[in-house]
Amino acid sequence: MELITLNTWGGRAGRDGLLKFLEEHKDTDVFCLQEIWSAPYEHLEGINAGNRPIDHKEVMTHGMQEISSLLSEHQSYFHPHHLENYGLQMLVKKNLDAAENGDVFVYKEKGYIPEGDVGNHGRNIQYVTLETKMGFVTVMNFHGLWNGKGKTDSEDRINQSKRIVEFVNRIQNDFVLCGDFNLLPDTESIRILERAGLRNLIKEYGVQSTRTSHYQKPEKHADYIFVTKGIDVKNFQVLSDVVSDHAPLFLDFDLR
């Protein structure tokens, strides 16, 4: 089974380039995408989100619909984490049997409206459990807390990791947890996940950066893929495509 996870940056690096990348990889079984819009937020135009004013001309305000239409052989699942129009999208090949899907909030709660910067909104994990010949496997898509203070530990981030562990401990089958965690590798927030028994492929493969040339800050880690012991990793790569300020991560895996 092949998977790609990508923080799309809302399409700010270029709509055509992003859609071309997805088209080229349309045979991928599962896409886990972050920063997806399904409609504009006119009342937030010019308001800071992630320390950057929202400019609707920059982003794909109907990216969810455009991507769903492009990847028509996939079932689209959209779970917002700020109001109803912005959040996480997973696309799963329709020949795969999805037994369950949903989301759970691990920072704040659904409907939380932050004070100040809109980027400090609630955070959820989106998940789909697939039935395969080898058994059930769950794929989880995540975009971790941004707080405007870098990618180091904070009380909120440590509590977020603890809530992630509480959730994944309820999963009875093997799983893949991936996305943009907004964390550096040497943080306690990451170690909490590792101590829970998750393989950190970014650390295991010695990945030095998950960012592209669009990102000029010195902290070059944000994106991760974690897997449980029953996941047989066939291939793991940081792809070189520059379609966002984040690099796409690719995983080819089976169940043991």
**Which tens digit of pLDDT belongs to each residue from 201-239?**
999 999 999 999 999 999 999 999 999 999 999 999 999
d(CA 155, CA 161): 10
**Mean pLDDT for each consecutive 10-residue tract of the chain (256 residues)?**
98 98 98 98 93 94 98 98 96 97 97 93 98 96 94 97 98 98 98 98 98 94 98 98 98 95
d(CA 209, CA 206): 9
Residue corresponding to tokens 């169940």: 255
Bridge partners (DSSP) of residue 143 are 180
∠ at Cα 244 (137, 234), nearest 5°? Answer: 35
d(CA 256, CA 249): 22
* N-to-C CA span, the chain: 12
Q: What is the DSSP letter of 146?
A: P
Q: What are phi and psi of 142, to 5 degrees?
A: -145, 145
Q: Which residues of 180-189 are buried (b: 16+ CB within 10 A; e: fewer)?
A: bbbbbeebeb
Burial of 72 (0-12, 13-18, 19+ CB in 10 A): exposed
Hey, is 173 helix, strand or coil?
coil
Fold observed for domain 2-255: Deoxyribonuclease I; Chain A (3.60.10)
At residue 51, the pLDDT reads: 85
Contact criterion met (CB below 8 Å) for 3 and 29: yes
d(CA 146, CA 157): 9
d(CA 238, CA 182): 17
Q: Among residues 23, 20, 28, 172, which one has the least CA distance to residue 96?
A: 28
d(CA 208, CA 187): 15
81: region left, alpha or beta (phi > 0 left; psi from -120 to 50 alpha):
alpha
pTM over 0.85: yes
d(CA 189, CA 32): 21
164: enclosing H helix or E strand: helix 155-168
